[in-house]
């Protein structure tokens, strides 16, 4: 590697450092603004467990839109149900 290539590589590395540092700093600031009263969101697995307590059966599909999990369940009787579960607190929003 010749001298201009080394110089360019070093400058490229130096220039990329602030971007990484700023991104890490922003993540740290975002975490600081979260209060202790805010709960972590529930996982897909937990949402499925909650929905299956409401409707017994096999999960066909799960999708998340904003703060709601939409879980499609094939009941043991053969009918399809959709259960909406809050991603924030796990409460059932709707089920049919």
Name the band, by pLDDT with cuts 50, 70 and 90, for residue 14: low
pLDDT digits (tens, 9 = 90+) for 38-81: 557 999 999 999 999 989 999 999 999 989 999 999 998 999 99
Predicted TM-score of the model (pTM):
0.57
Please count the other Cβ atoms lying within 10 Å of the Cβ belonging to residue 84: 17
| Of 17-21, 25-29, 33-37, 40-44, highest mean pLDDT | 40-44
Q: Are 93 and 85 in contact (CB under 8 A)?
A: yes
Look at residue 37 in the predicted model and tell me its pLDDT.
Answer: 46
Instruction: Indicate the burial class of 87 (C-beta count within 10 angstroms; 0-12, 13-18, 19 or more).
Output: middle
């Amino acid at each position: 590697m010749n001298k201009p290539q080394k110089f360019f590589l070093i400058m490229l590395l130096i220039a990329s450092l602030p971007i990484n540092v700023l991104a890490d700093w922003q993540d740290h600031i975002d975490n600081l603004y979260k209060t202790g009263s805010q709960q972590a969101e529930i996982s897909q697995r937990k949402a499925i467990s909650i929905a299956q307590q409401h409707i017994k059966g096999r999960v066909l599909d799960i999708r998340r839109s904003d703060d709601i999990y939409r879980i499609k369940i094939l009941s043991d009787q053969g009918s399809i149900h959709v259960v909406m579960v809050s991603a924030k607190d796990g409460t059932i929003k709707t089920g049919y």
